[in-house]
Amino acid sequence: MVKQLKKLARIFLSAGAIQYVVVTAIAMLFYPGGSHADPTGGPYTPGYDFFGNYFSDLGRSIAINGTINPIASVLYHVANVVYALSLIPFFLTIASEFPTKKQGKGAGIAAAIFGVIAGLGTLTYAVTPSDLLPVYHNLGVYFGYLGTFFAILMIGIASVRQNKDLKRDGFALIILAMVFFITLVLGISINTVFMNMLMQKTGKYLTMSIFTVEGILWYGRQ
């Protein structure tokens, strides 16, 4: 029974990441318009501007151009809630794969803690539109993104300590976690709309790819 629950948690993680990409892509088609580069949503940005809008703009109750945003916001909230809920069971079960100190137990426990924080942070910004509850939304973003970085990093460290079979995956996860961290730093430190959006999209799609692959890999290891 426990083994089956673990398998479900792993495939749910992959499904949660994949549906996020698909559902938010659909939401972009319904976003009314207005970007941070062109707030009025003029002729060059009549809808969602991939390099001019945050993902969070999809969840606004009122689009940046002042138009009511019912469809995109619902899709955005659903995508994030499902994704957030897919993180929590995976990270609650992953710590058991590193049972002893020599096999990365400490890092495995840390991964579980940060993974749950990432899930709760994501759930927070999923249900708090950025235009209505910006403080809570941004707080959720901080916990969601930083929790994700540390969770991936800790799984990588635990995997390196586990055994030879996981070392390669572990080093890959550590490198990918650092790449994700770089996107966060650049997105914050370089204050241009294009760079902010480029780094957010790069970091988000990178983490979705990581969780899709990790869910499948851990599913296959059972």
- How far CA 221 is from CA of 27, 94, 155, 215, in Å, comes to 35, 12, 15, 10
DSSP track, 79-95: HHHHHHHHHHHHHHHHG
Query: Mean pLDDT, to the nearest integer, of 67-75?
Result: 96
Report pLDDT for 11: 95
Under the banding of pLDDT at 50, 70 and 90, the label for residue 23 is very high
Q: pLDDT for 33-56, tens place per residue?
A: 888 887 766 555 578 999 999 999
Task: Provide the residue ranges of all domains of the chain, joining segments of one domain with +.
Answer: 2-220
Q: Phi then psi for 62, rounded to 5 degrees?
A: -125, 125
What is the rounded average pLDDT for all residues in the chain?
A: 91
Q: Cα–Cα distance between 187 and 51 in angstroms, integer? A: 12
Residue 222 has pLDDT above 90, yes or no: no
Residue 149 has pLDDT above 60, yes or no: yes
Closest CA to 66 of 43, 42, 32: 32
Handedness of CA 123, 171, 218, 19 (dihedral sign): positive
Query: Mean pLDDT, to the nearest integer, of 12-37?
Result: 95
Write down the residue that tokens 């999209």 correspond to. Answer: 201
Q: Cα–Cα distance between 84 and 82 in angstroms, integer? A: 5
User: How far is C-alpha 140 from the chain's CA centre?
Assistant: 12
Under the banding of pLDDT at 50, 70 and 90, the label for residue 99 is confident
Listed range (40-44, 78-82, 106-110, 206-210) with the worst mean pLDDT: 40-44
Q: Phi then psi for 68, rounded to 5 degrees?
A: -60, 140
Helix (H, G, I), strand (E, B) or coil at 173: helix
Query: Mean pLDDT, to the nearest integer, of 5-28?
Result: 95
